[in-house]
Amino acid sequence: MMQIIVLTCLMASAQAISPVMKVVELLDECKAKISKDLAAETAAMEEYTTFCDDELKDKAYAIATAAKSIGDLMATISDAEATGAEAADEVATLGSVFAAKNGEMYEATTVRKEGHEDFVAAEKELVTTVDQLARAGALIKKRDELCAGSYEHGKAC
């Protein structure tokens, strides 16, 4: 019987909750859920803000580094252009020197060719003269041999 009384008390207490109390209970549950969601949103926003700040710092550093690299590369380009201009001037100068040397070589070749022609002509003349002198010497030697024999016989050459 005790159980029936407890059961009856419980039923009476369950029926004793009024609709207003039920609304208040639901509002409290809703408030708790909203507070929990707000805390989660606050945590997510803090995480997002931290992420944005970190990204901002990273991007600013990357931009500064890139700007420095751009400056260095621009200086390298300017230096290379100056070196290229110097090399172009040197090529032009060397081209002029080369043309002058080619002219000198042509003149030297012409002089050498003329000198060679003169040498060949002089050599030919000398060979002819030597040949003539050799023949003349041979004739003189032959005559002297003939004359030497005629002196022995008492004849004059």
Judge whether 51 and 45 are in contact, CB under 8 Å.
Answer: no
In a domain, 6, yes or no: no
**The two three-digit tokens of residue 54, written as one number:** 């970190």
In a domain, 35, yes or no: yes
In a domain, 18, yes or no: no
Structural domain count, the chain: 1
In a domain, 34, yes or no: yes
pLDDT, tens digit, 9 for 90 and up, residues 25-74: 999 999 999 999 999 999 999 999 999 999 999 999 999 999 999 999 99
In a domain, 24, yes or no: no
Give Cβ neighbours of residue 147 (< 8 Å, ≥ 6 apart): 157
- Percent residues over pLDDT 90 in the chain: 78
pLDDT, tens digit, 9 for 90 and up, residues 83-118: 999 999 999 999 999 999 999 999 999 999 999 999
pTM: 0.43
Expressed as residue numbers, the domain containing 124 is 29-152
Residue 157 pLDDT grade (very low, low, confident, very high; cuts 50, 70, 90)? low
In a domain, 12, yes or no: no
In a domain, 126, yes or no: yes
pLDDT of residue 3: 52
